[in-house]
Structure 1
Amino acid sequence: MPFFSTQGILQQADPRCWQDHFFGLTPARWARLAGCAFWITGAGTGYGRAIALALAASGATVFLTGRRSEKLQETLDEGVCLGIKTDQCIPIVADITSESDLIQAIELISRHVSKLHGLVNNAAQPQPCSGNRPLTELSLASWNELMSVNVTGQWLLTKLAMPLLINSDSLRIVFMSSEAGWAYTSGFGPYNISKSALNTLGASLAAEWAGHFPDKDIQINVLIPGEAKTEMNQASTISPYSVVSMTLTLLSHPSGGPNGCFFHRDGRHLEFAYSPSYVNDLLVP
């Protein structure tokens, strides 16, 4: 049975019953997503697949990016099995660390839409195996690869997508981070650092864009998706759809909502560095 967290965010929603629960959104919030255009990275598996299909179910146009075309096709196939129309899902094979790939992706998106209403930076890479002391033993090449995917690629993609996002008066960006961004766990130092940097990237970008575009309704936030069964965590029994309710809550939020804030998938409002927890209700109509 699905249940709501104390913050009212739906947890453990069965994606097969999406027409009954709308992933915890009210009908009004669900309707806000219809007709909008969203770009999801890492959309071939895990959280990215779940978020992309939930957005497609709402009637949004969804651009799905991943490095493997076969995984993007599996996402579309899963949508069909769930009774979700995928005719407005456009798969784009691209590596977010490649500037040329991203430029081509944006050119393709621009042929379909004149603006993007939202972006979910979900693509990520786990820490390479490097012994018990990765901060001492990890090679420079492995370090650069990890940071390129988990930080630099997300900055580059968002930077290049800015013109399409700013064309929308109301834009939403969600950076998928990790509790590792708060952690100092021995053996995972490089990954912890990459997620801590991503936290700062999300909050800094939120401040910069809000200051530079005061006439736009900008909501850029960081979401901690928690544990679920993904390619990076095969041992978990939790569905990656567990993150959908909170992600859609942020993407569908009316004007005047959070910007530069941190949240957990269960609805908790978090603090990070100089960013205090968000004090308002996320579930306003």
Structure 2
Amino acid sequence: MTTPDTTRAPAPAAPTALITGAGSGIGRAVALALAGAGWSLALAGRRPEALEETARRAAQATHGPGGPGTLCVPSDVSRPDQVDALFAAVRDRFGRLDLLFNNAGTFGPPVPLDELSYDDWRTVVDVNLTGAFLCAQAAFRTMKEQDPRGGRIINNGSVSAHTPRPHSIAYTATKHAVTGLTKSLSLDGRPYDIACGQIDIGNAATEMTGRMRTGIPQANGTTAVEPVMDAADVARTVLHMAGLPLGANVQFATVMATAMPYIGRG
């Protein structure tokens, strides 16, 4: 009589995601969605206390026993040395990286073009563009070398990558550049099973978009309150993009408040 084999194969390790700008807003919402789907998380941002709060909420959002691991790494993505340390910490803790959500960003001051200082311009470029490049480059290196090879990068663009707002030249220029970054990453990642897509977000309700609910300048010179959507709606879109097999990719996705002034005359 053959004794049945009651041993269980070890459960596969949870996939690992690194989220920049994870201390609030879109980054936090995406962290909660990924945690609920069983991902291990590396959370990066400038404020340690905010990252710890995201980690606490992610633990509450996790379904099932054990749950994914969470690593908080306070980091400035515009600093190459801190980006290198961030990705080294992710590799040391989890052994691999399956997803980078390149989310860290800043608007800069909403001032007329001729009043924008060089320092403010550089701050926006350093975070939104250089930071996105540095993180994408580090993720590319990690995903290219790990076994199994490959992974996914999702860049946070903006509807400003297509249609600017008044007094937003630094932010708009960087988000246009992120689109170029996404396309180049998609091309260069093909031989190494690295997929890259971009999510362009319009009017998600976060700490950074409070002015939309009280009145924000329009292209015709007026000020108007604009509709907003829940950041969780953005997170669900990112979760869908992240969950695809590497043989499929959402190249560009736009998720926005349905009635925001984007399509048509506004």
Confirm or deny: 8 A CA contact 1:228 1:237 kept in the other structure: yes
How far did residue 82 of structure 1 move? Answer: 4.1
One-letter code aligned to 2:161: G
Q: How many residue pairs end up in the alignment?
A: 227
Which residue in 2 is equivalent to 1:96?
77
Offset at residue 257 of structure 1 (A): 1.1
Q: CA deviation at 1:129?
A: 3.6
Q: Does 1:183 align with 2:174?
A: no
Partner of residue 149 from structure 2, selected from 169, 176, 186: 169
SS of equivalent to 1:172: strand
Bigger Cα displacement from structure 2, 159-168 vs 52-61? 159-168
SS of residue matched to 2:181: helix
Counterpart-to-counterpart distance in 1, 2:209 and 2:253 = 21
Of 114, 129, 142, the residue aligned with 2:120 is 142
Amino acid of the structure 1 residue aligned with 2:43:
L
Q: 1:111 aligns with which of 92, 96, 104?
A: 92
- Matching residue of 2:175: 195
Partners of 1:83 and 1:152 lie apart in 2 by 33
Further displaced range: 218-227 or 164-173:
164-173
Who is 1:232 aligned against? 208
Which residue is 1:26 aligned to? none
Who is 1:156 aligned against?
A: 134
**C-alpha separation between the residues in 1 aligned to 2:129 and 2:237?**
22
Q: What runs of 5+ residues in structure 2 fail to find an aligned partner? A: 1-11, 214-226, 257-266
Deviations 1:216-259 (A, max 9, x none): 33220110122122121123753211112211111111232126
Equivalent residue for 1:263, pick from 249, 253, 262: 253
Q: Residue 62 of structure 1 aligns with which residue?
A: 41
Q: Which has the higher contact order (CA 8 A, sep 6+)?
A: 1
CA distance in 2 between counterparts of 1:249 and 1:170 reads 18
Q: Which runs of 5+ in 1 are unaligned?
A: 1-32, 267-285
- When Rg is computed on C-alpha atoms for both structures, the one with the higher figure is 2
- Partner of 2:19, secondary structure, is strand
- The answer to whether the aligner puts 1:248 opposite 2:221 as a matched pair is no
Alignment CA distance shift 1:209-1:179 (3 Å): same
Counterpart residue type for residue 68 of structure 1: R
Report SS of the residue matched to 2:202.
coil
Task: Provide the rounded CA distance (Å) in 1 between the counterparts of 2:72 and 2:29.
Answer: 14
Q: What is the aligned-residue RMSD (CA, Å)?
A: 2.3
Give the counterpart of 2:20 among 41, 45, 48.
Answer: 41
Per the alignment, do residues 144 and 205 of structure 1 end up closer, same or farther by CA in structure 2, a change over 3 Å counting? same
Q: Which residue of 2 aligns with 1:208?
A: 188
> Structure 2 length as normaliser, TM-score?
0.78
Residues 200 and 186 of structure 1: CA distance in aligned 2, closer, same or farther (over 3 Å): same
Residue type matched to 2:188 in 1?
E
Over residues 55-87 of structure 1, what are the superposed CA-to-partner deviations in whole Å (9 max), with x where a residue is unaligned? 122222110001001111121232345465766
Given residue 200 of structure 2, which amino acid in structure 1 is its aligned partner?
I
Q: Label 1:71 to 1:257 Cα distance change in 2 as closer, same or farther (>3 A).
A: same
- Give 2:204's aligned amino acid: A
| 1:82-118 superposed Cα distances (whole Å, 9 cap, x missing partner) | 4657661111100001111111112211211222111
Aligned CA distance change for structure 1 residues 253 and 91 (closer, same or farther; 3 Å): same
Contact 1:222-1:263 within 8 A present in 2 as well: yes
CA distances 1:33-54 after superposition (whole Å, capped 9, x unpaired): 9711110001110111111122
Return 147-156 or 220-229, whichever deviates more: 220-229
| SS in structure 2 of the partner of residue 185 of structure 1 | coil
Q: Distance in 2 between matches of 1:139 and 1:86?
A: 46
